[in-house]
């Protein structure tokens, strides 16, 4: 698999890379659902059970503001579930 921005930022720490990639994928999926529903920041906050400033940070992609747990808790209110699969690797 091609390197991501997380590989550049966290060289030598595969656990951190995986965690950052997972958080960013969750945030993008949640934001996509917010857009599909046509929610503004106030509506997103109400549906997700977060404050309006938190909804703004979410919508603006401020990943550092959200833990993995916080993002996972937001999946159900937007109708999403996690699907885990094996990543295919290529030997160099």
Q: How confident is the model at residue 6 (pLDDT cuts 50, 70, 90)?
A: very low
CB 29 within 8 A of CB 42: no
**pLDDT at site 79:** 96
Which tens digits make up the pLDDT trace of 9-49? Answer: 546 677 888 889 999 999 999 999 999 999 999 999 999 99
- Using CA atoms, how far residue 54 sits from 41, 62, 65, 67, in Å, is 9, 9, 8, 12
Q: What is the DSSP string of 13-78?
A: -HHHHHHHHHHHHHHHHHHHHHHHHT--HHHHHHHHT--HHHHHHHHTT-GGG--HHHHHHHHGGG
**pLDDT at site 14:** 78
Token look-up 């921005």 returns 5
pLDDT at 53 > cutoff 80:
yes
């Amino acid at each position: 698999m091609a390197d991501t921005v997380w590989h550049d930022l966290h060289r030598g720490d595969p656990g951190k890379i995986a965690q950052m990639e997972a958080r960013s994928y969750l945030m993008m999926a949640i934001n996509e659902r917010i857009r599909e529903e046509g929610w503004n920041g106030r509506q997103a906050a109400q549906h997700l059970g977060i404050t309006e400033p938190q909804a703004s940070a979410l919508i603006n992609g401020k990943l550092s503001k959200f833990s993995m747990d916080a993002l996972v808790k937001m999946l159900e209110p937007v109708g999403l579930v996690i699907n885990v699969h094996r990543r295919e690797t290529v030997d160099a």
